[in-house]
Amino acid sequence: MTTFNDLGVRDDLLKGIAEMGFEAPMPVQEKVIPVLLDGDHDLVALAQTGTGKTAAFGLPLIQRVDTSRLVPQALVLAPTRELCLQIAGDLADFAKYVPDISILPVYGGSSIESQIKALRRGVQIIIATPGRLIDLINRGVVKLADVHTVVLDEADEMLNMGFVDSINDILAHVPDDRKMLMFSATMPAEAARIAKQYMHEPEEIVIGTRNEGAANVRHIYYMVNAKDKYLALKRIADNSPNIYAIIFCRTRRDTQEIADKLIADGYNADALHGDLSQQQRDLVMKKFRDRVTSLLVATDVAARGLDVDDLTHVINYGLPDDTAVYTHRSGRTGRAGKAGVSIAIIHSREKGRLREIERIIGKKFERKEVPTPEHIIEKQLYNLADRIERVEVDDSEIDRYMPGVLKKLSWLTAEDLLKRVLSLEFKRLLNYYKDAPAIDFIDEKPSKKDRADRAPRTPQDKDRRTAERGMARIYVNAGKADGFFAGNLIDLLNHNVPGQRVDVGRIDLMPEYSLFDVRKADARRVTAALKGVDFFGKRLYSEIADPDKDYAASSTRKSKAKAKGKKEKSPRK
């Protein structure tokens, strides 16, 4: 078995990591440490969070520092304040027995004056967010001329957050002959461009398979009607008595609404999103790390940098548009050899997106039925029985109270007593789930005979479809004949509708026009924003769809009139 000593790690560092419980190196450490200590080339490492990356680059960084020189010699760039602090804390623990070493995290949201004072006293390893480091470079406080190693941690996350220009600017200030390491869970095109531009013939190592999820994670999905998503979420939580999970939502509004509902329903939940102040974020994250909160409802951006090893579940309350985002989400569970579960709660229109994620990550999602009330109650009862079995009893303290309690309850049999304990614990749960219905979406396809007997669908049928509850149907005068497809629609909405992002439901694309569903609250905002927008020379018109209007016939009349007008004008050419 390979040891850290075999990899060339110094004795003072071995002593520090032994106290932290490090025994044998993890795969990423076996591959990265020798390259950073003795190799002569750069390195791109594709690995999930939770695979031991920090020690993989941290131990060689510390070992290569010349402690007699108080100048920056190693630089680590990270996407978030939280990750900066975590890396700095880990490196300080590794270097517990290394004298005269100075490690400093610099990040936004904290006093820049105190960071400037620390830098002027002298620092050898800097862990920084790109924005704050650029500010310090521009102020002339940070000089990177002596940096011999640069690490980009979670490079794909930094690029997703829009730091590409900042990274380019920072790398222009470090020597050309420095060693460089890029860590990334996925390899987007921008990360590949940075590797090509700034790295010298980099070796690529892959822990697992490119873009795949963590090996110890099961991928499960539940399919329900959109209106039943929250009910399904509660049943999933109730069916896992010791759940410790992050629930990912697409928008800040959804995040806060789901968290508020969970809290009102008696769950230990909290919300983490961009509308919180830094002080509020820190408090929410501390409560979650300390397990005061067991369910954290978060947006992807807000959860970046939150590193927790013991998550039992990651729950996708709606699938992300980008598969790399799903990979990051699911990689937060199943760490350090432990099993984890990534759950997607989807409606029928998201099934295609699910299959696309399966194809890219190379993993199959298991379809499960939403837990039934009977199964949930049974699971909770067995969990209570297990807790009763395992509870530690302090006889010296409890014995003094036993005679009075026994006298009070002596008329109850052991079975009666147990029934009362269980009823006391689960009365709310039993009442809530009494007569609760099944909520799974039944998506059985009709037989060939049924399909043959069914009358053919017409464009008018799609016109008259009604939107789901809480949604509104929108008409826009562009269709497949105009080269207008779902991607174009989403792009137009993202670039033209002000305010919060618009969630789009069902989309029906016809040759001359399209119909799509949005939340009722967003309908007027969407139609107003799309009116008059230019789509490759076509002026768009949009309205809230009238279920009684025959848009197909209307478009046909307009097309005929347009064609007739062209014929009449043709002799004038």
Closest CA to 97 of 19, 198, 176: 19
CATH code that applies to domain 11-206: 3.40.50.300
Query: Nearest 5°: phi and psi at 301?
Result: -65, -45
**Percent helix / strand / coil, the chain, rounded to 5:** 45, 15, 40
Question: Is 311:243 a contact under the CB 8 Å cutoff?
Answer: no
Give me the helices (H) in 47-199, please: 53-63, 81-94, 112-121, 130-138, 155-160, 164-171, 189-198
pLDDT (tens digit, 9 = 90+) per residue, 143-154?
999 999 999 988
Mean pLDDT value across residues 343-356: 88
The answer to whether 183 and 57 are in contact (CB under 8 A) is yes
Measuring CA to CA, which residue among 121, 53, 59, 127 is closest to residue 93? 59
Query: Closest Cα to residue 217, out of 370, 338, 48, 346?
Result: 338
What pLDDT is attached to residue 446? 47
Contacts of 442 (CB under 8 A, 6+ apart): none
Q: Under CATH, which architecture does the 454-567 domain have?
A: 2-Layer Sandwich (3.30)
User: d(Cα 286, Cα 303) in Å, to the nearest integer?
Assistant: 13
Give me the residue label for tokens 């591959």. 31
Instruction: Say which DSSP state 473 is in.
Output: E
pLDDT tens figures, 299-338: 887 777 677 778 889 999 988 887 778 887 887 777 655 6
Query: Could you state, in order of their start, the residue ranges of all structural domains in the chain?
Result: 11-206, 454-567
What is the pTM assigned to this prediction? 0.55
Closest by CA position to 309, among listed 291, 292, 321, 282: 291
Residue 458: which pLDDT band, with cuts at 50, 70 and 90?
Answer: low
- Contact yes or no for 57/213 (Cβ under 8 A): no
Pairing of strands 269-272, 217-223: unpaired
pLDDT tops 50 at residue 568: no
Eight-class DSSP state of 167: H
For CA atoms 103, 108, 111, 113, the dihedral sign is positive
The pLDDT score that the predictor gives to residue 249 is 92
Contacts of residue 74, Cβ cutoff 8 Å, sequence gap at least 6 = 61, 64, 65, 124, 125, 126, 147, 148, 149, 150, 151
Is the confidence at residue 231, as pLDDT, over 50? yes
Handedness of CA 13, 15, 21, 23 (dihedral sign): positive
Question: Given a cut of 60, is residue 210 above it in pLDDT?
Answer: no
Averaged confidence pLDDT in the chain: 83
Report how far residue 36's alpha carbon sits from residue 149's, in angstroms, rounded to the nearest whole number.
8
The tokens describing 226, both together, are 């959109």
Residues listed for the chain: 573
Inter-residue contact 510 to 489 (CB < 8 Å): no
pLDDT of residue 337: 58
pLDDT digits (tens, 9 = 90+) for 236-284: 999 888 899 999 998 888 999 999 999 988 899 999 988 888 788 888 9
Q: What does DSSP assign to residue 466?
A: P
Q: Give the per-residue pLDDT at 570.
A: 40
Beta strands in 234-358 (DSSP E): 245-248, 269-272, 295-298, 313-316, 340-346
| 109-113, 239-243, 292-296: range with lowest mean pLDDT | 109-113
Q: How far apart are CA 308 and CA 120, in angstroms?
A: 33
Query: DSSP string covering 199-219, please?
Result: SSS-EEEESSSTTPPPTTEEE
201 vs 197: CA distance, rounded Å: 10
Distance (Å, whole) CA 128 – CA 126: 6
Measured distance CA(486)–CA(479) in Å, rounded: 10
